[in-house]
Amino acid sequence: MKRAVVLLSGGMDSATTLALANQEGFECYALSFRYGQRHDAELDAAKLLARRFHAKMMRIVNMDLAGISNSALTDTSIDIPEQSSEGIPVTYVPARNTVFLSVALAWAEVLGAQDLFIGVNAVDYSGYPDCRPEYIAAFQEMANLATKAAVEGEEIKINTPLINLSKADIIQKGTDLGVDFALTVSCYQADVRGRACGRCDACRLRKVGFESARVPDSTRYIV
Amino acid sequence: MKRAVVLLSGGMDSATTLALANQEGFECYALSFRYGQRHDAELDAAKLLARRFHAKMMRIVNMDLAGISNSALTDTSIDIPEQSSEGIPVTYVPARNTVFLSVALAWAEVLGAQDLFIGVNAVDYSGYPDCRPEYIAAFQEMANLATKAAVEGEEIKINTPLINLSKADIIQKGTDLGVDFALTVSCYQADVRGRACGRCDACRLRKVGFESARVPDSTRYIV
Summarize pLDDT for B109-150 with one digit per residue, the tens.
889 999 999 999 988 766 788 999 999 999 999 999 998 888
Is pLDDT above 80 for A190?
A: yes
**Which residues lie across from B159 on neighbouring strands?**
B117
- Sign for the CA dihedral angle at B140, B52, B190, B168 comes to positive
Predicted pLDDT of residue A113: 95
Cβ neighbours for A85, distance < 8 A, ≥ 6 positions apart: none
Summarize pLDDT for A101-119 with one digit per residue, the tens.
999 999 998 899 999 999 9
| Closest-approach residue (CA) in chain B for A96 | B106
pLDDT bin (cut points 50, 70, 90) of residue A78 is low
Summarize pLDDT for A131-167 with one digit per residue, the tens.
999 999 999 999 999 988 888 888 999 999 999 999 9
Report d(CA B141, CA A39) in Å as an integer.
Answer: 33
CB–CB of B130 and A150 under 8 A?
no
- The shortest C-alpha distance from A61 to chain B (Å) reads 6
Domain boundaries, chain A: 3-167
Cβ-Cβ pairs closer than 8 A, A with B, add up to: 149
Residue A120 · residue A136 · CB < 8 Å:
yes
Say how many residues make up chain B: 223
Is pLDDT above 80 for B156?
A: yes
Nearest-by-Cβ selection for B61 from A68, A106, A138: A68
CB–CB of A70 and B110 under 8 A?
yes
* CATH number of the structural domain A3-167: 3.40.50.620
% pLDDT > 90, chain B: 61
Flag the least confident range among A122-131, A181-190, B10-19, B138-147.
A122-131
A222 and chain B: CB distance < 8 Å anywhere?
A: no
ipTM of the complex: 0.89
CB–CB of A64 and B65 under 8 A?
no
Predicted pLDDT of residue B72: 64
Per-residue pLDDT, averaged over B68-95, amounts to 68
Instruction: Report the mean per-residue pLDDT for chain A.
Output: 89
Using an 8 Å CB-CB cutoff, list chain A residues near B6.
Answer: none
Nearest-by-Cβ selection for B69 from A92, A97, A106: A106
pLDDT bin (cut points 50, 70, 90) of residue B62 is confident
CB–CB of A129 and B147 under 8 A?
yes
% pLDDT > 70, chain B: 87
Using an 8 Å CB-CB cutoff, list chain B residues near A65.
Answer: 61, 103, 106
Using an 8 Å CB-CB cutoff, list chain B residues near A36.
Answer: none
Flag the least confident range among A73-82, A100-109, A161-170, B52-61.
A73-82
Report d(CA A26, CA A5) in Å as an integer.
Answer: 9
Predicted pLDDT of residue A135: 96
Nearest-by-Cβ selection for A61 from B64, B98, B146: B64
Task: Out of 2.60.40.10, 3.40.1390.10, 3.30.530.20, 3.40.50.620, select the CATH number for domain B3-213.
Answer: 3.40.50.620
| Closest-approach residue (CA) in chain B for A139 | B142
Report CA-CA distances (Å) from B195 to B47, B163, B203, B213. Answer: 16, 26, 11, 21
Q: Say what the pTM is.
A: 0.90
Report CA-CA distances (Å) from A204 to A88, A97, A209, A219, B2. Answer: 16, 22, 8, 12, 39
Per-residue pLDDT, averaged over B40-66, amounts to 91
A113 and chain B: CB distance < 8 Å anywhere?
A: no
- The shortest C-alpha distance from B91 to chain A (Å) reads 12
Q: Which amino acid is at B106?
A: A
Per-residue pLDDT, averaged over A165-174, amounts to 94
pLDDT bin (cut points 50, 70, 90) of residue A27 is very high
Summarize pLDDT for B188-219 with one digit per residue, the tens.
888 989 999 999 888 988 999 999 999 999 99
CB–CB of A98 and B99 under 8 A?
no
